[in-house]
Structure 1
Amino acid sequence: MYRTVKRLGIPDSNIILMLADDMACNSRNKRPGGVYDHPDKSVDLYGDNVEVDYRGYEVTVENFIRLLTGRVGPDTPRSKRLLTDDKSNIFIYMTGHGGDEFLKFQDFNEISSHDIADAFAQMWEKKRYNEILFMIDTCQANTMYEAFYSPNIVAVGSSKKGQNSYSYFHDNNLGISVIDRFTYYNLKYLENVKPGSSLTLRDLTLISDFFGAEQNIELTIDPIKLDNVNKNESQIYIHQIPLKV
């Protein structure tokens, strides 16, 4: 999402990027300095002139909570502070390995849904935000915001409780899955959005509802009699959608 919000006019001074940052310059990366969302290498997820504020071992649950609540050390530079007030609208995007009400931070510690909920409550009490858009892409993502109890928060997740969030592209050179389907299709949609567009969050969620990893969908131009479909199959057949062949 860093590439997208920056392209749409949000400057680095208004972005705080927390990233492991261990793949762009990995010795196995055939295109040093970039990480791509598709085999055709058309979209560099890093974008141009990436500025990572928290990297490597700085990306911890403690630092994330301190960042949100403003309880950082006095020697913390401005680039690592969330300098917001009661008029600020904040977009928070998180992704990684997760499960029922937890998200891993680099596989050695976890943040729970209650940790985030309590942090948002502190932010509201301290007048650190006006509205928050919280987006998360992980397995059972929706459980990460079920504990929220503060006002003016809109949350979007890639999967329901008990559901997985599947990867879209596995980079064989790096040996990792670079991007999940939910994020890939959201980025694909947002790449066509221009600054000043009148599109709303509703338009975005309609796209992600269809392309999210919640169901296996097969598109066909041939009508199918549902009476002949095995009820044990998890496929959904959609023949009403016009397709270009």
Structure 2
Amino acid sequence: MWFTSFIISFIIGSTFTLSSDGHNDNWAVIVDASNFFFNYRHEANALSLYHELRENGFPDDHIILMISEDFSGNVRNQIPGTIYSDRSHSCNLFDETIQVDYKGYDVNEESFMRVLVDSHPEGTARSRRMLSTENSNVLVYITGHGGENFLKFRDQSAITGDDLANTIELMHKKKRFKSLFFIADTCQASTLAEQIHTPGFFSLCCSSVGESSYATHFDPKIHTPLGDRFTMSLVEYLKRHRNNRYATIEEFYRTLNPGYLEAHPVFRTDLVNVPVKTLYLADYFSYKTQVQNIT
């Protein structure tokens, strides 16, 4: 793979006191891999989760946001300058506060993998790098069009499950995470995670092999669906449990209705060495601030 020739450099940061679960900060990588206006819902997916992370205290310098197309400015958008995921159009997700780190043709499988392993060209801006450590919890969310063992980027190229497995293994060797939570909202999503055997990795994927990811409601004014069923279910669940420190990912998984999703989500936890009931939403979707810098 392209990254095997890179010189691996380790990031030496400040020393922190650790809390009971052993991680000292949180990072998130949010990827919308689709272009073309009829894929508006994928941008709405990504931005909905992005806004929820910020509501939960995530600073932008700990979120890498990758949006492959600016549909807010697309000539087909009947409400210019906006992206919505709700029927009432009450919350513009593409407001002036968002910070997009990668956009357009910069969103591709190579840039995505470079972010994960921190192997960038010289001079890459700090805002485009994920500076996680062996004591970080990392959330990786991807949405777009995929199939068995692949996810397309901008309908031009793709990342495979093998690519992803090799990248996450390299992350582990470079001590880039304590725990990595991978979420995929795409067709046949679970196949992307099947080749991964790296300790500390776990995943929640919206569909099994042979199954699709389905949109929510169609908006007659914007002429496109405003999100996907799985991601909108996740975001709504997170909103309802913002103040519940002990809400778990497993509890959310059990609320998912295969009849509504028209798919069977896969929650994989065999590579984590803690009880599933201790995988709390807050440890991945809220920014950890209860840490003391002792250097």
* Structure 1 and Structure 2 fold alike (TM over 0.5): yes
The alignment status of 1:17 with 2:65, answered yes or no, reads yes
* Secondary structure of the corresponding residue to residue 233 of structure 2: helix
Using a 3 Å threshold, how does the CA distance of structure 1 residues 22 and 176 change in structure 2: closer, same or farther?
farther
Distance 1:101 1:53 in 2: 26
* Pair 1:48–1:197, CA change in 2 (3 A): farther
Match of 1:53 in 2: 101
Q: Superposition RMSD on alpha carbons, in Å?
A: 1.9
1:120 Cα deviation after fit: 0.3
CA distance in structure 2 between the partners assigned to 1:102 and 1:174 by the alignment: 29
Cα distance between partner residues in 2 of 1:187 and 1:46: 16
Q: Max radius of gyration: which structure?
A: 1
Cα shift readout 1:3-22 (whole Å, capped 9, x = no counterpart): 11111111101000000232
* Secondary structure in 1 matching 2:73: coil
In the alignment, what sits opposite 2:262?
213
Which letter does structure 2 place at the counterpart of 1:213? E
Alignment correspondent of 1:3: 51
Secondary structure of the residue that 1:115 maps to in structure 2?
helix
Partner of 2:162, secondary structure, is helix
Counterpart-to-counterpart distance in 1, 2:164 and 2:176: 14
Deviation at 1:143, TM superposition (A): 0.5
Residues 185-196 of structure 1: pairs in structure 2 closer than 5 A: 185-195=233-243
On the 8 A contact 1:2/1:46 being kept in 2, the answer is no
How many correspondences in the alignment? 215
* Residue identity in the other structure for 1:150: T
Q: Deviations over 1:175-223 (max 9, x none)?
A: 54331111111112222222563212122212235553327xxxxxxxx
Deviation readout 1:104-150 (Å, 9 max, x if unpaired): 10100010011111000000001011100100001111101001010
Counterpart of 1:153?
A: 201
State the Cα distance separating 1:42 from its structure 2 match. 3.5
Name the SS for the 2:169 alignment partner: helix
Q: Name the CA distance, whole Å, in 1 between partners of 2:84 and 2:138.
A: 26
**More contact order relative to length (CA 8 Å, sep ≥ 6):** 2
Give the alignment partner of residue 138 of structure 1, picking from 186, 210, 221. 186
Unaligned runs of 5+ in 2: 1-48, 265-295
CA 12–72 in structure 1, closer or farther in 2 if over 3 Å, else same? same
- Are the equivalent residues in 1 in contact too, given 2:79–2:222 (CA < 8 A)? no
> CA 1:193/1:43 → structure 2, altered by over 3 Å: closer, same or farther?
farther
CA distance in 1, matches of 2:160, 2:224: 24
Contact 1:132 1:153 in 2 (8 A): yes
Q: Which structure has more helix as a fraction of its residues?
A: 2
Structure 1 unaligned runs (5+)?
Answer: 216-245
Residues 125/82 of structure 1: CA separation in 2 closer, same or farther (3 Å cut): same
| Seq. identity, % | 34
CA–CA distance in structure 2, aligned partners of residues 162 and 206 of structure 1: 21
Displacement, 1:24? Answer: 1.4
Is contact 1:141–1:157 with CA below 8 Å preserved after alignment?
A: yes
TM-score, normalised to structure 1's length?
Answer: 0.81
Superposition pairs of residues 1-245 of structure 1, within 5 angstroms? 1-46=49-94, 49-172=97-220, 174-195=222-243, 197-209=245-257, 211-214=260-263
1-structure distance, mates of 2:141, 2:194 = 16
Q: CA deviation at 1:40?
A: 1.9
